[in-house]
Structure 1
Amino acid sequence: MKNNKTDRRSFLQKSALAAGGLFIASQAKIIGAPNIIKHYNKSLSKINGVQIGVITYSFRSMPDQSAEATLKYITDSGISAVELMGDPAESFAGMPESTVDRRAFFGLRRKQRDGSLTADEEKEMAEMQAAQEAFNKEVAEWRATVSMEPFEQMKKMYDDAGVSIYGFKPRAFGQDNSDAEIDYGFRAAKALGATHVTLEHPSDDAHTMKLGNMAKKHKIMVAYHGHEQQTPTFWDTSLDQSKFNAMNLDIGHYVAAGYNPLDILKEKNKRIASIHIKDRQTPENGKGNLVWGTGDTPIAETLQLMRDEKYKFAATVELEYQIPEGSDAVKEVQKCLSFCESSL
């Protein structure tokens, strides 16, 4: 017997198959139909040849993390292309939900690293760890058997709203994921219309070799993201391993690591699948993550280089600075897009 959640998901998936006009009419109260009608089939955030996108991680503070609500956040931001985190798509496709409070679990892990766990907290953490491991096994089984149809339906829903999905970042490409999960990740990305998947660089040469080989089979790129461990040679081994291995350069973290991103963009642009943009400070200035235009990251110069050299990869807005009181993630992403527009 189907539960209410399953019935709702089935309804939403069927709704996504409807023609664009019918979808907009039926979902008006959920996803802001007037805004989507205004933006329908327009590449609003492709400016002078530079595709500005957004990673859905930017909207993590918003109350509803469903695929439908996420689409509203994107279109309300004025952006027409997206790097999609796994949660909205996998939830839409019916992935089981964890009963573990991840925020509480990560808090306990921090206390464990600090050596400040009480005996009761240690017991609580062990129980949560066991529940998480059981959940991971359940998810792995789901990923191995799930149909790609819901992902195709989600692609249509986003396409009908004028939003293209160029990147997909589920938690399916790690060393602890099975080959079946990794294969699923590539198949789901293709069903969503993505040109590449993204993940944190695993710092494991054997794993990047494995992913590059699996990416070749699916004819889809795998792009590695870095934080302050990025250097001019950070990606070299993985790029040498496979032409399907690529870069997901983060220019803000690159500046915080002490390097000028313009140099690596010029040198390795042909191996970049997409970049992340944020405004961070240099190590000398404290490495802060600031409102755009107030840090040390050459965002405007990066976008102008992409425009002038006709680079084809997307520049992805990643909202990480503290949201001012009275604002929200959508309003701040709008400001980031305005900064890009004025730069280009």
Structure 2
Amino acid sequence: MNFLRKGLLLAGMAVMMYASPAAAQQKEAKLGWKLGAQSYSFRLFTLAEALDKLDSCGLQYVECYNGQRLGGGIEGNMDFKMDAAKREQVLALLKSKKKKLVAFGVVSPRGEEEWKQMFDFAKAMGIQIITSEPRTQDLDVLSRLADEYKIKVAIHDHPKPSHYWHPDSVLTAIEGRSKYIGACADIGHWVRSGLDPVECLQKLKGHIFSLHFKDLNVKAPKAHDVVWGTGVCNIEGVVKELKAQRFKGVFSAEYEHNWDNSVPDITASVKNLREMIAKQ
């Protein structure tokens, strides 16, 4: 009888362990949060390989970047200028890997013709958010096309001296323009620029469409990524602020360290984040 009870207990624990990622994803879905990864985290690999790595990390959403080798039997690179046949191949690859393409970037087309190509690509691929650092002279064209296509454009912040390193420059860019233009909050880059990520999120309240999620080892320009919750980016404070703002959107894990084998770090990061979400 004792062996039977022990066996039942172990089986129950196994079921709980197996179910926990799904339960965590349900919590995220309730909040309107889509946890995924920027495929740049796996830039040394093909997109096909990156999608498998996302699976290992317990993630189903992906933000692709322009230029990654496709793999999976498909020639060429990810490119918003690819033809319709290649788009169909990539969509089939995503479907076969059970991954959802939700965002694309960081990409900054130049002029109306290229921006229209970008929006056509996004529409064809089901992309919800274009992550960009647009030229100031393209903002009016971008605003008009965003309204026309009803696709969001999230302005990303690289560290200073990048034009959009500070939230104030993002607010200036979106003022008086389409409601489909907002912010991609790269919290690690803010910390590299000497900014407080929670204060930056507060400045951008109501305009945040997505995040490039990071934690860093030190507050310095040359800092590197660490497992979320173990560094200096105040991840718990960031999660609390996003909940307070009722943020709904995409979290892209962008892990730019341990390039050859970042899956263990990203997996641990996702686990820590899901535990924080459950606690708050």
1:239-250 equivalent positions in 2, closer than 5 A: 239-240=174-175, 241-250=177-186
Pairwise mapping of residues 1-344 of structure 1 onto structure 2 (< 5 A)?
Answer: 45=25, 47-48=27-28, 49=31, 50-62=33-45, 65=46, 67-88=47-68, 143=81, 146-147=83-84, 150-152=86-88, 154-155=90-91, 157-159=93-95, 161-169=97-105, 171=107, 173-175=108-110, 179-199=112-132, 201-202=133-134, 204-229=135-160, 230-240=165-175, 241-280=177-216, 281-283=218-220, 288-292=223-227, 293-322=229-258, 328-344=261-277
Which residue of the partner structure matches residue 105 of structure 1? none
Q: 1:56 to 1:194 in 2, by over 3 A?
A: same
TM superposition shift of 1:78: 0.8
CA distance, structure 1, for counterparts of residue 76 and residue 130 of structure 2:
22
Q: Tell me, yes or no, if the aligned pair for 1:205 and 1:237 is still in contact at 8 Å.
A: no
State the SS of the aligned residue for 1:258: coil
Shift of 1:47: 4.2
1:287-320 deviation per Cα after TM superposition (whole angstroms, max 9, x unaligned): 5224133431011221233235431012221101
Comparing 72-81 and 264-273, the one that deviates more: 264-273
Distance 2:234 2:112 in 1: 39
Query: Quick one: which amino acid aligns to residue 248 of structure 1?
Result: C
Instruction: Give a deviation string over 1:190-249, Cα, whole Å, max 9, x none.
Output: 2222211112x24x3212222222222211111111122322302022211332221111
Distance in 1 separating the partners of 2:230 and 2:275: 15
The structure with the greater share of residues assigned to helix is 1
Letter in 2 for 1:58: S
- For structure 1, the residue ranges without an aligned partner over 5 or more in a row are 1-37, 98-138
Cα distance in 2 for residues equivalent to 1:90 and 1:219 = 27
TM-score (norm: length of structure 1): 0.62
Q: For residues 240-293 of structure 1, give each alpha carbon's deviation from its aligned partner in whole angstroms, at most 9, with x where no partner exists.
A: 13322211111111122122221232342321110111123324xx65224133
TM norm structure 2: 0.74
Deviation at 1:57, TM superposition (A): 0.2
Q: Displacement, 1:93?
A: 11
Question: Using the alignment, how far apart are the partners of 1:223 and 1:206 within structure 2?
Answer: 17
Partner of 2:3: none
- Does the C-alpha gap of structure 1 residues 185 and 174 become closer, same or farther in structure 2, counting only changes over 3 Å? closer
RMSD: 3.2
Structure 1 residue ranges (4+ consecutive) displaced by more than 6 angstroms after TM superposition: 89-95
Q: Is the 8 A contact 2:215 2:233 kept in 1?
A: yes
* CA distance, structure 2, for counterparts of residue 190 and residue 165 of structure 1: 12
Cα distance between partner residues in 2 of 1:328 and 1:337: 16
Q: Work out the CA distance in 2 between the residues paired with 1:68 and 1:287.
A: 30
State the 1:79 CA deviation: 0.4
Question: 1 CA distance for matches of 2:201 and 2:138?
Answer: 25
Contact persistence 2:206–2:245 (CA under 8 A): no
Q: Distance in 2 between matches of 1:58 and 1:210?
A: 31
Which region of structure 1 is more displaced relative to structure 2, 301-310 or 86-95?
Answer: 86-95
Give, in whole Å, the separation in 1 of the partners of 2:106 and 2:62.
14
Matched-pair identity in %: 22
Contact in 2 for aligned 1:225/1:249 (Cα 8 Å) = yes
Contact preservation (8 Å) 1:170, 1:185 = no
Q: What amino acid sits opposite 1:79 in the alignment?
A: L
Change over 3 Å in CA distance of 1:244–1:214 after alignment to 2: same
